[in-house]
Amino acid sequence: MILPPLPYTSKNKFIANNFDYLTSYIINRYKGDIKPSQILDISADILINILRYDSYKDIEDIYETLISTPADTRPGKNFSSLASHMNLTSLIAWLIFGKAKDIPYYRLASILHDIGKMVEPEAHIDGATQFFNEVFKKIKEEIKKGNTKENIIDYYFDVVKDKVEKYHSIDFKPDHIAAENERFPNKIIEEALSRDENCKPFLEMLGQRSTAELKKNEEEYKKKYELCSKEAYEYIRSYKPQKNAVSENTKNIKGYIYYINFTGVQSFIEYFSNLKDISTASFMVDFIVSTLPFVHFDNLLSHKTRLPLEALLVVSGGHSILIGRSDVKPEDFINEIENDQLLKGLDIELSIAYRPFFINDDLVSYDVVTDLIRESQFNNLNFKGTKVLSLGLHRNCDNCKERPAVEKIGEEYLCSRCKIIRDYSNKRGFSARVMPKYYINGKEVEIGYNEIDPMVFISGGRSNDDSRYTSIIKFDANDASKYFANTLTWSEYVDKSFYTDYWIKKSLRDTVNAYYNKNPEMIKRLIAGIQFLGGDEGLLISPSLISINFMIDMINEVNNKTGVNFKVGIATVKPDHPIQFAIFTAEKIMDKAKIKEGKGDNSIGIIFSPSFISPSVVESFQKAGDFTILTFQNTFSQIEEILNDVSIDVSKEDDDNLKDYVRELEDIVEFHYRHKNINETLIYLIRERIRYRKYSQLIDLILKSYDSKNKKINLLDTYFILKNIQSGFSKVSKT
């Protein structure tokens, strides 16, 4: 979760995103107390030593191995990965033993407790001991390369090794509690496996008996294992067995779960009209729901224990879920947030709902998340010290035109919200993304920002007189709420949350590497336009030339790895278009792009406009006459057929062939607008198909999309797809 979208070089001195701050804080806090007000001034020095390029591949390999290794290998009990099980075990150890002097060793033993399953699932205790020995050996070798005396290193590592091995046992309490939360009674699993003859041999595994006979044919075993695991999961999910209720009427609450929600994300961002401010506002949304509350809670714990990173279960879309120990009272934590000076100045809407999470050595049911989401709608915080001003007796802010101005900055009078965003916009958001050097395909790459208008730069322009069209891209998972609602345990929830987040970021890295070989300059511009990426969604600003191709390749990889379908909205406009309206237009198009029928494939909705657009005018594009000619519902396979037919090559400087196709479609679209009769347009399409063999396959694709029952055809969709790409080859006309 904390990995940045792209690896930095060792020369980086800039912190580019929210999780970079969180990572830097977690390390720097051991050097001395850091107050919440000091977080945004943290240096990147520690960060670049942790998130080194040569560590990236190792981290990816380790995580992908952990996420694909079940915590329990028995069908019916293998619904959680080793990654989430280790994460939950460590969190429980912190909740149980938080006041113990040896808490770091408990947590290390928790995280590595079942690591041996990656090597030898049926003898994982011995495998873990072997793993410990190898890790300690390598760490000692690395540290001995420095100036530290060898006998000191040996002493401390022997202490660590002895303590971790002491707590690493088959009777480790946090492991049992985590496993109990992840598993269901044998009776239900037996019912699930007994329904299929192929699955009955796996009943032996429930009693810890050997399956050596079954494993003789490895290929057949693997096929049956996957089939029976899936059948067991579907049966248990449909059965929905209830865990024993955990009573909250007790004083023995060891941990609370907090749902932190930025309730006015859209209204907050739409206050700002330029890219730098919007980039900073987007950064602030993530920072406010994750890093800032994490630091506040950690400060309240600073003289007892530290808040572990695994306590941050989820960060996505303006909300987070945080687990906190009960020796910090929820009221005290909320009071700290309400008194935060940054939040007072921004004057935002933030809600915090909480419930007991860990009581009498039991975890509450995952269903509590639904209750928290509902409660958060009524729990907005009142930030202490907010001033109430009379209507009309003050000067309005020159930037947002709504709030009272409090300070003059240069020639502008700004409100407290706009002043804070403006203060940080020169070193956060867009500025922080274009200053670092990145590793792409193993090479150091400098973005090369030349101080021109940021939107012109992202469009691919070389100067303010060379602006191209810019694509604003919004995407998120289809039916994400249903995806997470169909969850049986906390471990499964953590798996789903982290796995989707990981593959969105990993797929962006992979696609950036692939496209850098095709068009390095445009990829640099896209990197500069990354606004938000994580959870199950993202917001990018990209050169129009590569926006469609890039998103298809990136989302296809996410879909292949996670099985989650996505919808994408693209609004392509001139660089001087008011950015906030383009963002919300892309969001509306994204919602319209969702295909409700059939399997719900990945889909993209696209709009191209040389003039002003906003969510309120989107519908006006869709119809001409009584027929819908812009559906916004284009599956990836449909778009790929179009791109393949036209032979799109985004590595070129220009494309005369593409211009020919765009001109042909312009003629067809113009004909329909002139006549506004679908039958005449269909006849015209057939005539053009016969007349020009070059365009016959493309016209066939348009004709295939004709739906007489629902009165729609993907005519304008097809035109916008090609026009979107073609507009990225040349600079914007001044007319």
Q: DSSP letter string over 655-710?
A: -HHHHHHHHHHHHHHHHHHHH--HHHHHHHHHHHHHH-GGGHHHHHHHHHT-BTTT
Alpha carbons 336 and 146: distance in angstroms, whole number: 42
C-alpha 60 chain-centroid distance: 16
Write out the H or E segment, with its range, that includes residue 528: helix 520-528
| 419 has a pLDDT exceeding 70 | yes
Copy the structure tokens of residue 708: 């007489």
Tokens 């005539």 belong to 687
538 plus 402 within the same structural domain: no
Alpha carbons 273 and 465: distance in angstroms, whole number: 21
Residues of the domain holding 223: 185-239
User: Of 45-54, 554-563, 689-698, which gets the smallest average pLDDT?
Assistant: 45-54
484 plus 457 within the same structural domain: yes
Please give the pLDDT value at position 152: 57
Domain boundary among 176, 209, 239: 239
β-pairing, 603-608 vs 566-573, is parallel
Length of the chain, please? 735
Band of pLDDT at residue 51, cut at 50, 70 and 90: low
Residue 283 lies in a domain: yes
337 plus 372 within the same structural domain: yes
625 plus 512 within the same structural domain: yes
**What are residue 111's phi and psi, to 5 degrees?**
-65, -35
Please give the pLDDT value at position 114: 74
* Cross-strand pairs, 262: 350
Copy the structure tokens of residue 692: 């020009």
Summarised one tens digit per residue, pLDDT across range 177-188 is 888 888 888 889
227 plus 355 within the same structural domain: no
Please give the share of the chain, as a percent, with pLDDT higher than 70: 85
CATH number of the domain that residue 24 is part of = 3.30.70
Measured from the Cβ of residue 327, the count of other Cβ atoms closer than 10 Å reads: 13
Residue 442 lies in a domain: no
Band of pLDDT at residue 600, cut at 50, 70 and 90: low
290 plus 400 within the same structural domain: yes
Alpha carbons 356 and 354: distance in angstroms, whole number: 7
Residue 133 lies in a domain: no
Domain count, the chain: 3
Band of pLDDT at residue 428, cut at 50, 70 and 90: confident
Greater model confidence, 201 or 621: 621
497 plus 406 within the same structural domain: no
Average pLDDT over residues 485-502: 88
Copy the structure tokens of residue 293: 């509350």
Greater model confidence, 6 or 665: 665
388 plus 466 within the same structural domain: no
Measured from the Cβ of residue 250, the count of other Cβ atoms closer than 10 Å reads: 10
Alpha carbons 465 and 458: distance in angstroms, whole number: 14
| 52 has a pLDDT exceeding 80 | no
Domain boundary among 379, 397, 426: 426
Residue 151 lies in a domain: no
Domain boundary among 426, 455, 470: 426
β-pairing, 312-316 vs 253-262, is unpaired
421 plus 555 within the same structural domain: no
Tokens 């049966």 belong to 235
| 98 has a pLDDT exceeding 90 | no
Alpha carbons 113 and 120: distance in angstroms, whole number: 13
Please give the pLDDT value at position 53: 63
Average pLDDT over residues 468-472: 97
Amino acid at 296: H
Band of pLDDT at residue 214, cut at 50, 70 and 90: low
Q: Is 451 exposed, middle or buried (CB count within 10 Å of its CB: 0-12, 13-18, 19+)? A: exposed
Summarised one tens digit per residue, pLDDT across range 532-546 is 888 889 999 999 999
CATH number of the domain that residue 452 is part of = 3.30.70.270
Residue 220 lies in a domain: yes
Copy the structure tokens of residue 374: 């509902």
Residue 79 lies in a domain: no
378 plus 311 within the same structural domain: yes
Mean pLDDT of all residues belonging to the chain: 86
Residue 130 lies in a domain: no
| 599 has a pLDDT exceeding 90 | no
417 plus 547 within the same structural domain: no
272 plus 418 within the same structural domain: yes
Measure the CA dihedral 107/109/112/117, to 10°: -140
| 717 has a pLDDT exceeding 90 | yes
Average pLDDT over residues 448-477: 94
| 55 has a pLDDT exceeding 70 | yes
- Range list of H helices, 389-463: 416-425, 430-434, 454-459
| 354 has a pLDDT exceeding 60 | yes
Residue 735 lies in a domain: no
What is the secondary structure of 276-296 as a DSSP string?
HHHHHHHHHHHHHHTHHHHHH
